[in-house]
Amino acid sequence: MIPADDKWIIFDADNTLWRTEVIYNEARNRLCDYIHSASGTAREAVEAFQRETDKKLEALYGYSASRFARSFEDTLINYLGTPEADEIRHVRRLAEDVFRTKAAIYPGVEEVLRTLRADHWKLAIITAGEEWVQKKRLSESHLENIFDEIIIVERKCSSEFSNFCRDRKFDPVGSWVVGDSLRSDILPAIEAGFNAIWVQHDNWREVERAELQAPLGCVAVTSIANVLAELSLTAIDRRPIAQDDLDVFGIFEGGGAKGLAHVDPVGASDIGGSVTRPPSSSGPLPAGPAPAARPRRFYAKVTLDPNRPTPQVSNIAQSILSELDRARGTTITLVLDIAADTVDGFSEDIENIIRDNAASLRITDFGFEKE
């Protein structure tokens, strides 16, 4: 076993880090409206039938996208008898849209994760579901780089958590599992010897909570943001103090991706501060001092990991570029510099492949050098 101070917190993903149940509910409501309009059946009856059908199909299909679509189709057939092919395609599309829709991250998630990281916890995700769906949601969340390990499985049981400990040679006694599901997260974690925090977010109640009791030793919280308090930690506040007369520049040293933007002035009200305004008057306002000039240019240089550049670029786009773009009239230029050196020289086949690929990608400013 590794030293006790090497501590892990393993998170579930769906309905723990980001909201997915609300997306399922919206699709279910559309199905109920559609069948009600077509057959006159009460929406409540349609929803009850779909939920029961979906629960039965879970034993065969697990957390797959095809299960939810099948439950919609079976519900349609139950109330319409022999629906047209277009009607079947329509309800299946309603269900499949769940997996194409971006899931919103719960408030406080990033603060929780970064505070735990600052407190030297190792972070992991063990989540169940179809791999392509989970990878899509992870990518859209921009949280991948915060975690040391990300594992996607078809189903979660105690062996998944026990194997995680065994493979990394640590004792689960000082580590935690955080999740919304009693069945898939909390009970298996306790059985494997972990501490557990049950986050009581809305979820698939028919399966994840049905007739199950929270085990002894389980800590229950109503929000992911409450996890820190259970670990006696205080969230790191990374927000800047609102101050109109303070110029702040972010400078990142290194090679790699380069961003350049021209921005307009930003006041305290734009970053969460307060502004006291003079009372309105019919006469002209007295002249005051000219507002301090605000920075109009931002630049940054960031070194990318050549093995995993995509997550870093996504994080830069979300955390930097999207904020810069909020300023009116912003023009952003993003340039990627690639420099590669090898002692023995690049072989002819590598050179030919790269030239062909660069041409296909419409990259014109590139080349190989002998010195």
Assigned architecture for domain 21-99:
Orthogonal Bundle (1.10)
Do the bridges between strand 176-179 and strand 257-262 make them parallel or antiparallel, or are there none, so unpaired? Answer: unpaired
Amino acid at 44: E
Q: In the block, which residue shows the tokens 């269900």?
A: 95
CA quadruple 307, 312, 313, 314: dihedral sign: positive
Chain-centroid distance, C-alpha 210: 27
Q: Look at 6-20, 42-56, 230-244, 298-312 and tell me which has the smallest mean pLDDT.
A: 230-244
Identify the helix (H) or strand (E) that includes residue 357: helix 348-360
Specify the amino acid at residue 123.
L
Host H or E run for residue 13 = none
Query: Taking Cα atoms as reference points, which of 265, 260, 268, 263 lies closest to residue 239?
Result: 268
Angle in degrees, CA 121, 124, 129, rounded to 5: 160
Paired strand residues for 335: 258
d(CA 319, CA 25): 30
- Classified by CATH at the fold level, domain 8-15+103-230 comes out as Rossmann fold (3.40.50)
Q: How far apart are CA 273 and CA 267, in angstroms?
A: 8
Q: What is the pLDDT of residues 166-211, one digit of tens each?
A: 999 999 999 999 998 888 899 999 999 999 999 987 765 665 555 6
Q: What does the pLDDT look like over 35-85, one tens digit per residue? A: 999 999 999 999 999 999 988 888 788 778 888 999 999 999 999 999 999
Q: What is the pTM of this model?
A: 0.62
Give the residue extent of every domain in the chain.
8-15+103-230, 21-99, 239-279+292-371
CATH topology of 8-15+103-230 equal to that of 21-99? no
- Amino acid symbol at 270: D
